[in-house]
Amino acid sequence: MTTTTALPAAALPAAALPAAALPAAALPAATFPATAVSATAHPAVTHRDHLRAAIDVSRSAPLVLNRYAVGALIVDHDGTVLATGYTGETDPAHHAEEVALAKLTPGTDLSRATLYTSLEPCTIRKSRPAPCTDLVLAAGINRVVLALREPILFADCDGVETLRQHGVQIIEMPDLAQHVRDINAHVLRPASTS
């Protein structure tokens, strides 16, 4: 069986992802390999590679002035990408983590899976009843890797602390945060004054 872990995140073939997960345009066509390679051939796929893939997924989110463009990947313990999601993919009010979790078959064991998200999962939600931290905890995910904590713009989020308090391992990669800021320049950069 081939899996997406065989390749660096920048070279994940669209065919290796779930059918509705990622538009092929989200990754540069030049990086698609001719064939998928088994996970044993390239065991060096890292948290960084998967987080970069989540950041790439966020580029598919429609840019809206009152929300962040976020991308998420759920990756099983063996490196298999189980699902991806981006903000607004299925509904304008849906968050990336929510979309990715909704694509999974009910009852999927996620106790050894990792959620890769470009932005800290929310703890306060105006558009839906359950914040993403609650959804992650309910799903049983025990590790979250993120690039950027949510800036205090729309809500004062404490997703990292909430998840840690519930025993979820958090890995932050702030060196990738500028990519997330750039993608979200539409909300993070103040309007120019003329």
Rounded to an integer, what distance in angstroms lies between the CA atom of residue 90 and that of residue 85? Answer: 9
Q: Rg of the chain over CA atoms, in angstroms?
A: 16
Catalytic residue flag (residue 97): yes
Distance CA 182, CA 84 (A): 21
Owner of token pair 């099983």: 76
> Comparing C-alpha atoms, which of 111, 13, 26 is closest to residue 62?
26
Residue of 97, 98, 120, 150 marked catalytic: 97
Please tell me the distance from the alpha carbon of residue 86 to that of residue 57, in angstroms, as a whole number: 6
Strand positions, DSSP E, the chain:
71-75, 81-86, 114-119, 143-148, 169-172
Residues annotated as part of the active site: 97
